[in-house]
Structure 1
């Protein structure tokens, strides 16, 4: 059996371009036209490779690396081996991301699995749908009546775009996605298995549970990325919204009427109940539960596995179940540990 490599660098990149991407000066006496051909971890990199380091636990590998170029924070620059060019920058990880994107642009978002250009054989596009020139529709994809797909967007195999849905330009909808009752901006990335715009979970409870029709939409703004098998319910009477630049991991549940602000990060297995509001620049760790109708203030951080059942002030760091300010949470944990230790020693 062959051992395929799915991603290869599309080009080499000159050191001067790397330095510009990193915002780093080129050390005196180093040829700025020197080429970087690939990236690799510190321990396996060779003379034509670029690596990076921003964590103290990798100091030994930094000194021993054979990488041609290393992106490194100033505090570790003196540890770089003599055979490597050290590009000192403020945020090596972010700089590395920029170089990686330049070398491997195809890895930035899902493309056509069929290698299609335009409308592929076996795609099903309703006569009343509008597909801009330059969009790609893979085999088995279904585009409903009145739907619109913008230039440069890719709709993957077996994905379904419902009637009236709007998908902007340069979006990527991976295979096996269903999007209904939704409006998407530009450069949105939707990974496999995502469901957008289905019913929210709404019932008038009683001896029998009366279903409440969900008549809102989902609004997803520019540059949002949604991970595999995440679900985003449409609004009940107002729209579910996800703000520009927000990044959502795999296996997240976003319920009806939820409003998520701009540039948030929501990690895997988070559940956000109906009508919660997540303001701008919030980070929510894995497996957090957020109850309905609460507000998480701008710039807040919620520790993994926490349960948010009340409003979180802006700029806060909370954790625990129920979630509370992290210093308070840590004090309680320390007190319980001390109490348990005392009981064991009786």
Structure 2
């Protein structure tokens, strides 16, 4: 990357580490390599990794691959001959997946929110004396944590976020700036991005009060400004490992299964049940690709 101002690599990866991490096959002779970043074909440096998928029928992209300055090219076996001689070439049946594994290893801090003001409870945060916080919880300025709230070790609460009374959040989770969480039980390693609303009633709350909860299971991610409403007749549940994109709306009494993907802007029907491994609201350009090739 041209200016690593916001994300600095935590390590570098040599060829043996890259082979172990990706499970890819080396094409050509082994040589010295040190990867410290990732990039696109056009902007990569000799210390960056890039990837391409099948480029059949895309002569311009093949030309860009041949001209790249990247030090490491992850390609499907069919594209290995088009990579430049200056690069180390690793062939993989899933080059995108290998590329993401490298990016995660180099930039682990990009996988979850970090505390803006550093570890601990910052000045200006309001934590009710009846709230219970395990060690290593970080709370940024302006955040409000209500009575009886429980927050697990390693969790980060962003600036001006609000956690209502009795909310429970597991370990190593992240609540984004300005997010509001109420009437919710939240698992480990959950990410709620800025501005999301979790656990509130719908517009007709005065006429038909909602008495259920929101349950976000482990490893769920909720996008910026998404809304997950508390249940009325049953709990609203988002299952383990599922992703709800920005501006999506999960109405009350919805049950989203495990490892689902809800695309941005989609509003599910009230009371709907979404089976495990479902993709909802798939954008038109992705509908033309096999589902096995779509990476959440």
**TM-score, reference length from structure 2:** 0.90
Aligned match of 1:162:
164
Shift of 1:25: 2.6
Aligned match of 2:96:
93
Shift of 1:105: 1.4
In the TM superposition, what are the counterparts of 1:71-110 in structure 2 within 5 Å? Answer: 71-110=74-113
1:237 aligns with 2:233: yes
Shift of 1:9: 1.6
The 8 Å contact of residues 137 and 155 in structure 1, kept in 2 or not, is answered as: yes
Aligned match of 1:121:
123
Shift of 1:132: 0.3
- Partners of 2:19 and 2:64 lie apart in 1 by 22
Structure 1 residues 287 and 17 mapped into 2: Cα distance closer, same or farther (>3 Å)? closer
What does the per-residue CA deviation read over 1:1-24, in whole Å, with 9 as the maximum and x for residues that have no partner? xx8822222221112222222111
Aligned match of 2:194:
192
- Partners of 1:94 and 1:229 lie apart in 2 by 28
SS in 1 for 2:26: coil
What does the per-residue CA deviation read over 1:166-210, in whole Å, with 9 as the maximum and x for residues that have no partner? 00000011100000000000000010000000003447xxxxxx7
Aligned match of 1:146:
148
Greater shift in the superposed pair: 142-151 or 6-15: 6-15
The 8 Å contact of residues 33 and 71 in structure 2, kept in 1 or not, is answered as: no
Aligned match of 1:133:
135
SS in 2 for 1:59: helix
Unaligned runs of 5+ in 2: 292-296
Give the number of aligned pairs.
282
- Partners of 1:158 and 1:67 lie apart in 2 by 41
Aligned match of 2:294:
none
The 8 Å contact of residues 44 and 68 in structure 2, kept in 1 or not, is answered as: yes
In the TM superposition, what are the counterparts of 1:133-282 in structure 2 within 5 Å? Answer: 133-202=135-204, 211-282=207-278
- Partners of 1:218 and 1:192 lie apart in 2 by 18
Higher relative contact order (CA 8 A, sep 6+): 2
**TM-score, reference length from structure 1:** 0.77
The 8 Å contact of residues 243 and 260 in structure 1, kept in 2 or not, is answered as: yes
- Partners of 2:269 and 2:130 lie apart in 1 by 36
Unaligned runs of 5+ in 1: 204-209, 289-301, 305-314, 316-346
- Which ranges of 4 or more aligned residues in structure 1 deviate by more than 6 Å? none
Aligned match of 1:38:
37
- Partners of 2:40 and 2:11 lie apart in 1 by 19
